[in-house]
């Protein structure tokens, strides 16, 4: 049964030029928010029979979930979620620093939300301007202070660490703020130029230059070392935490677990099936609700390769002693010569019990994983 739930809340004040997640203008769609949440409630009830008695994680992503009036979340919890949560359920919400009011935090805590992921992206104002964020550095500081002072939430800080002109001085400033607010969890992302974004178009026109690849890796290693000195454990390529405050929702994805996604553009996986909702809010609201839209039936080979691709993102890698990983073990045995070569070159560790990437391998993950799966 499914123990993890994702809800996509697509409303944003403004689209950031690097973002390829599905979002719509809050101003243009504000009048349809009530309709959207009613649709999510209907969709939830459609899949209710697939859910476990208690959920291990609920994740509100976006978009900007914190833009939405708390009354809609109350409606959702009362009609759907309350009986599926207990004290162990991780309930996370993504938040934009420009949207938070102190009383909103109290109301989220009353619903059971216990983890907040703040899209800080940078603690350097000129980089926030480059990212076209609607919040200022002052907004970020005020938001983090409110969350820490509230005391009911684990704090995730998300940063993009390779915008043009990023350097060690700016990196040090980012790290100082992480330590100042004692974040429980940190996510570090390299800036990706997705083809469908205006950032990509600007780069294609020569208006923006990417950081040099080698310097980007130097910066990443600087961040990793600095976080380690401050007791942050790297447990996945981009994710770090203190005192085992892992993100349960994301760990389930990397462990290739099942999850249900609700809302426009949301993806789901259950056993050997994967499906996703249409990437258009109007169509999501107006079309007849379909069961498992855009469904794909995964082959045995698909399941093995996807489990390897996701599992090796974790520093702990894949435990080959588990019965559930028997087919993965067979696949890797067929690639033994490649794995031995990669181990010899310091990219991974491979034996009869486990396979996992070294720090050297994780930092060029895509290149190494391609060699394994090819």
Residue 124's Cβ-count burial label (10 Å; 0-12, 13-18, 19+) is buried
Identify whether the C-beta of residue 102 lies closer than 8 Å to the C-beta of residue 63.
Answer: no
23 three-state secondary structure: coil
Indicate the helix (H) or strand (E) that contains 115.
Answer: strand 115-121
Distance (Å, rounded) from C-alpha 55 to C-alpha 267?
Answer: 17
In a domain, 274, yes or no: no
* Pair (180, 324) in one structural domain: no
Q: Rounded distance, CA 261 to CA 275, Å?
A: 9
Query: Which of 126, 129, 132, 127 lies closest to 159, judged by CA?
Result: 127
**Same domain, yes or no: 236 and 329:** no
Digit-coded pLDDT (tens) for 29-68 = 999 999 999 999 999 999 999 999 999 999 999 999 999 9
Buried b (16+ CB within 10 A) or exposed e, 163-198: beebeeebbeebbebbeebebbbbbbebbeeeeebe
In angstroms, the CA 259 to CA 58 distance is: 10
pLDDT above 90 (res 324): no
> In this predicted model, what pLDDT tens digit does every residue of 58-84 receive, in sequence order?
999 999 999 999 999 999 999 999 999
For 128, other C-beta atoms within 10 Å of its C-beta total: 21
Percent of the chain at pLDDT exceeding 70: 100
Q: Are residues 221 and 317 in the same domain?
A: no
Residue after which a domain boundary falls, among 220, 254, 288: 254
Q: Residue 49's domain is classified under what CATH number?
A: 3.20.20.70
Contact by Cβ (8 Å): 161, 238 = no
Instruction: Please give the pLDDT value at position 355.
Output: 95
Domain count, the chain: 2
148 and 238 housed in the same domain: yes
CA–CA separation, 28 and 319 (whole Å)? 48
For the stretch 335-352, pLDDT in tens is 999 999 999 999 999 998
End position of a domain, from candidates 254, 289, 315: 254
Q: Which helix (H) or strand (E) holds 119?
A: strand 115-121
Instruction: Tell me which residue range forms the domain holding 48.
Output: 4-254
- Give per-residue pLDDT as tens, 278-301: 999 999 999 888 899 999 999 999
41, HSE (Cβ side, Cα atoms, 13 Å): 16
Q: What percent of the chain has a predicted confidence (pLDDT) above 90?
A: 94
Q: What is the pLDDT of residues 97-134, one digit of tens each?
A: 988 888 999 999 999 999 999 999 999 999 999 999 99
Task: Tell me whether residue 278 is in a domain.
Answer: no
Closest to 164 (Cα-Cα) out of 205, 129, 201 = 129
177 occurs within a structural domain: yes
Q: Answer yes or no: do 309 and 210 share one domain.
A: no
């Amino acid at each position: 049964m499914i123990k993890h739930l994702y809800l996509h809340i697509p409303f944003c004040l403004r689209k950031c030029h690097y973002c390829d997640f599905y979002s719509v203008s809050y101003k243009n769609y504000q009048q349809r928010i009530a309709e959207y949440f009613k649709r999510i409630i209907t969709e939830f009830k459609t899949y209710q029979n697939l859910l476990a008695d208690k959920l291990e994680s609920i994740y509100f992503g976006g978009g900007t979930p914190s833009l939405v009036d708390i009354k809609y979340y109350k409606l959702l919890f009362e009609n759907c979620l309350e009986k599926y949560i207990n004290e162990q359920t991780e309930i996370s919400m993504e938040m934009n620093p420009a949207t938070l009011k102190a009383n909103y935090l109290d109301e989220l805590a009353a619903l059971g939300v216990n983890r907040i992921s703040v899209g800080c992206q940078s603690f350097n104002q000129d980089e926030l301007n480059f990212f076209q964020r609607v919040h200022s550095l002052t907004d970020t500081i005020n938001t983090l202070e409110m969350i820490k002072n509230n005391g009911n939430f684990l704090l995730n800080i998300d940063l993009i660490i390779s915008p043009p002109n990023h350097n060690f001085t700016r990196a040090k400033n980012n790290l100082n703020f992480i330590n100042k607010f004692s974040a429980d969890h940190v996510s570090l992302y390299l800036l990706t130029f997705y083809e469908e974004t205006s950032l990509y178009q600007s780069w294609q026109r020569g208006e923006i230059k990417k950081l040099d690849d080698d310097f980007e890796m130097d910066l990443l290693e600087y961040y990793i070392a600095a976080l380690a000195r401050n007791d942050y454990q790297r447990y996945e390529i981009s994710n770090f935490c203190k005192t085992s405050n892992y993100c349960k929702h994301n760990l389930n994805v990397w462990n290739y677990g099942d999850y249900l996604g609700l809302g426009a553009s949301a993806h789901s996986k259950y056993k050997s099936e994967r499906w996703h909702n249409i990437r258009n809010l109007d169509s999501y609201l107006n079309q007849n609700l379909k069961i498992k839209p855009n469904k794909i039936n995964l082959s045995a080979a698909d399941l093995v390769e996807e489990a390897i691709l996701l599992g090796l993102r974790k520093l702990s890698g894949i435990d080959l002693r588990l019965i559930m990983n028997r087919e993965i073990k067979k696949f890797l045995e067929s690639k033994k010569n490649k794995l031995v070569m990669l181990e010899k070159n310091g990219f991974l560790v491979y034996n009869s019990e486990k396979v996992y990437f070294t720090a050297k391998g994780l930092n060029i993950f895509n290149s190494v994983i391609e060699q394994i799966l090819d």
